[in-house]
Structures are given as C-alpha cells and as structure tokens.
C-alpha cells in the first residue's frame, strides 16, 4: 500500500476533506460541519477525529500518511501562524502546529484557501502539467494564488496572491470590503458583476433582458443574458473582461507564468468569458505574443482539498 496524504479545506460552513494517493488520485472525500463557537476551538479537534475515523475504517494508520495539508480562509504567515481568521473565529493561533499535535505529530502544512486552490488546480486541474500558474477565483469575492516552481507564493506577510484587492479602476467611488476603492473584486466578483448590471440599468432607459431580474439580478443572470446576445449584458461583461484582462496583464508582466487558470462560480460562464478576458489581456500586453495562456479551472470546489494535500508533498 502506497503512502497517502490528506487535504483539509476549512470553510466557514463546512470543512471539506480528501484522502489521496501521493500521485493525486482522490480515494475518498467527505465533509464535517465547521463549529465556529467559542473562537472556533472545536474545528481542529473535529477535523482530527474525522480523519482518524476515516483512516481507521480503511485500515490506514497515521504512519502511512505523508502528512495533512490545510487551506484556511484568511492570511497565513510563513510559519503557519494565523493572526485573525474572521470566518472561523480564530485569533493568534498556529493551526498547522495544533492539527499536527492532534494527529500524532504527522507533518501538517497550512496555506490561504485561495492559494491552496491554485496549487490544487496546478496539481490535478486546469494547470496540470505546469509548474508556474496564477489562478484567479471569481466567487463572492475575487481570490487568487500564485504558484511558481510548483510552490505557493504565500508572501512574507500573507498577502501573496491577494489579487482581488489590486486597484484597477480610478473612477470608482464606493469602497471595497478591504477599505480600498476600485479593487478588481468590486468589478469581477459575483457581487461586483451584479452591481455593474444594476448600475448599467440605472444609468439608462435602454431596453435589456436584464431588467426582468430587477435589483435581484445575479452574475449568472448577467452572463446568461450576455451569451443570449443582450446588448446591455454584453456591455457589463466587457467591463468585467477589461479589468480581468488588465489584471492578467499585470501578472504576466510580474511573474510571467505558463498559464492563467480562471475558477470560481463566475467561471462557469466558460469559454465565453475567457474569450472576453483574452481580448483585453492581449490589448494590455502588446510587448510580446509569447506569454501565458488563459484556461478554465477544472476541479470546482474540490480544488481546495487537492491543493491542501499537495502542500505536504514537497
């Protein structure tokens, strides 16, 4: 029996777990509820108990496990320290040391969840076969992960891959959650896309298929109507694609990866969205034709467990 590794993706509602062969084969995946009471102090014990149970059911001992990797929804310092993780209630703790202690000292390595998802996509997803990728996750917010030489660029202060909070739009006046103004996240997240649509509808009396959704319009509605040819929806997608294309250009001219992987719920719009991003990316990188390609993520919500597990395989 070959060695195994474990991926733990800690979210605000559920913890996703995966048991893997070291070659990336997913053997089993499961979930436990995230108990956030009392500063989140039950989360890691619950995770450890669940891992022990699953291993036991399969006749696998902890000595057969290379290690467990973890994705955490917040900044993680180079030594694994988490100063504040609002979604979990964690404050000034080192979850990788704690989980390791709960699992007889097996190696545990943690990373920010968006960075970890990027590593997962590099390992077994849209970036498989590449060593240098940047993933952009378009969900409720905009997350990112920079992977160079098959390793996460976590940064010295936990800000590596925080690309959703790069300022790109000078004329913005509303504030982002981060305190900034004109962040990528304000435009290209699911909430941002819906906001752009509401703005467009409010700014003119032109007819649009988007109007039937009113203020409850979602990013999916916008993208669906754009695909169906609605002019105003296409204008919203153009805006989103412009700023994402600009973001990718900035990244290409900084770390120059082999490929960009676009993931998150918004990326379900598929090649239609990629094509718009691609057009603007080309516009902002006239310096060279030879540069990173853009593709779609492939692992969906499993990217986190894949990437978490991959962290312990270096």
Task: Kindly list the residues in this chain that would bind its own copies in the complex (CB under 8 A).
Answer: 75, 132, 146, 148, 153-163, 165-167, 170, 178-180, 246, 249-258, 284-288, 290-292
Please enumerate in sequence order all residues whose Cβ is within 8 A of that of 44, keeping only pairs 6 or more positions apart, or say none: 95, 98, 99, 102
Smallest distance from its own copies to CB 214, Å: 31
Q: Output 18 or 127, the one with its CB closest to its own copies.
A: 127
Smallest distance from its own copies to CB 232, Å: 22
Specify which residues 90 forms β-bridges with. 85
Q: Output 27 or 84, the one with its CB closest to its own copies.
A: 84
Q: Output 148 or 209, the one with its CB closest to its own copies.
A: 148
Q: Output 3 or 169, the one with its CB closest to its own copies.
A: 169
Smallest distance from its own copies to CB 190, Å: 20
Q: Output 46 or 258, the one with its CB closest to its own copies.
A: 258
Pairing of strands 133-138, 259-263: parallel
Smallest distance from its own copies to CB 115, Å: 11
Smallest distance from its own copies to CB 87, Å: 16
Q: Output 246 or 305, the one with its CB closest to its own copies.
A: 246
Q: Output 80 or 257, the one with its CB closest to its own copies.
A: 257
Pairing of strands 14-21, 4-10: antiparallel
Specify which residues 140 forms β-bridges with. none
Smallest distance from its own copies to CB 77, Å: 9
CA torsion sign for 306, 311, 312, 314 is: positive
12: tokens are 């605000």
Which of 262, 260, 261, 210 lies closest to 233, judged by CA? 210
Smallest distance from its own copies to CB 119, Å: 16
């Amino acid at each position: 029996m070959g060695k195994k590794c474990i991926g733990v993706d800690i979210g605000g509602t559920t913890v996703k777990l995966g048991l893997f062969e070291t070659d990336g084969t997913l053997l089993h995946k499961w979930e436990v509820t995230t108990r956030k009471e009392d500063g989140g102090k039950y989360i890691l014990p619950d995770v450890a108990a669940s891992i022990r149970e699953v291993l036991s059911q399969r006749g696998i001992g902890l000595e057969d496990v290379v290690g467990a990797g973890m994705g955490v929804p917040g900044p993680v310092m180079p030594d694994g320290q988490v100063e504040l993780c609002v979604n979990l209630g964690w404050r000034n703790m080192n979850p990788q040391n704690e989980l390791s202690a709960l699992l007889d000292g097996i190696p545990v390595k943690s990373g920010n969840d968006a960075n970890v998802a990027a590593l997962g996509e590099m390992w077994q997803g849209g970036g498989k076969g590449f060593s240098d990728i940047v993933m952009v996750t378009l969900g409720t917010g905009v997350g990112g992960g920079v992977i160079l030489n098959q390793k996460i660029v976590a940064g010295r202060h936990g800000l590596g891959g925080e690309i959703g909070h790069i300022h790109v739009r000078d004329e913005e006046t509303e504030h982002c959650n981060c305190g900034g103004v004109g962040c990528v996240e304000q435009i290209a997240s699911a909430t941002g896309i819906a906001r752009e649509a509401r703005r467009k509808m409010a700014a003119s009396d032109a007819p649009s298929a988007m109007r039937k959704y009113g203020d409850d319009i979602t990013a999916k509605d916008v993208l669906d109507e754009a695909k169906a040819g609605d002019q105003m929806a296409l204008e919203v997608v153009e805006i989103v694609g412009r700023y994402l294309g600009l973001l990718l250009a900035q990244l290409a001219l900084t770390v120059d990866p082999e490929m960009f992987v676009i993931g998150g719920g918004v990326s379900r719009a598929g090649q239609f969205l990629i094509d718009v991003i691609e057009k603007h990316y080309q516009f902002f990188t006239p310096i060279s034709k030879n540069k990173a390609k853009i593709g779609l993520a492939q692992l969906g919500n499993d990217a986190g467990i894949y990437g978490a597990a991959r962290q312990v395989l270096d």
